């Protein structure tokens, strides 16, 4: 049984094919499957759950794209950090489907982004100031996500 104190079980991500990531527990059982193209998590909750048992799926959401602080969406109440606040919807939908065909649709959480500016400067030494002012310089900045900016 998962508790808030132990934060549950950490799963190991294994690339099954070019479009599928399997999340495996320490017993080697596939607990969740992520489809890269569909951006969908299929989560194998449990074979059975007792009356007071529950399972919690927690995952990080990475905001990608060009965003501003002009948030178009509002988070549904009870959905986490920005519950009831404006932001960007973190998913299109979240539905739990039971084997008997019943579905439960979950409310939408939102994420907020903080736009930032990066200033890069270069100090040149070893040549006189007039020569430094007339010279041409270029910059290459490489980010962790492998994005490269050159000037």
pTM: 0.52
Which tokens is 145 given? Answer: 């996500």
Q: In angstroms, rounded to a whole number, what is the distance separating the alpha carbons of residues 70 and 48?
A: 44
Q: In angstroms, rounded to a whole number, what is the distance separating the alpha carbons of residues 134 and 151?
A: 16
Q: Which of 34-43, 73-82, 92-101, 117-126 has the lowest mean pLDDT?
A: 117-126
Q: What is the pLDDT of residues 96-145, one digit of tens each?
A: 877 788 888 888 888 888 777 878 777 777 778 777 777 787 778 888 87
Cβ contact 73:89 at 8 Å: yes
């Amino acid at each position: 049984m998962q508790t808030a104190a132990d934060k549950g079980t950490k799963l190991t991500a294994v690339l099954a094919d070019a479009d599928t990531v399997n999340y495996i527990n320490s017993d080697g059982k596939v607990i969740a499957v992520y489809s890269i193209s569909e951006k969908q998590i299929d989560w194998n909750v449990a074979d059975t759950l007792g009356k007071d048992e529950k399972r919690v799926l927690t995952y990080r959401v990475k905001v990608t794209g060009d965003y501003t602080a002009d948030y178009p969406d509002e988070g549904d109440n009870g959905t986490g950090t920005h519950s009831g606040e404006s932001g960007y919807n973190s998913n299109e939908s979240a539905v739990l489907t039971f084997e008997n065909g019943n579905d439960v649709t979950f409310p939408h959480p939102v994420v907020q982004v903080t736009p930032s500016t990066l200033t890069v400067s270069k100090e040149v030494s070893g040549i006189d100031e007039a020569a430094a002012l007339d010279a041409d310089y270029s910059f290459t900045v490489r980010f962790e996500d492998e994005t490269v900016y050159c000037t």
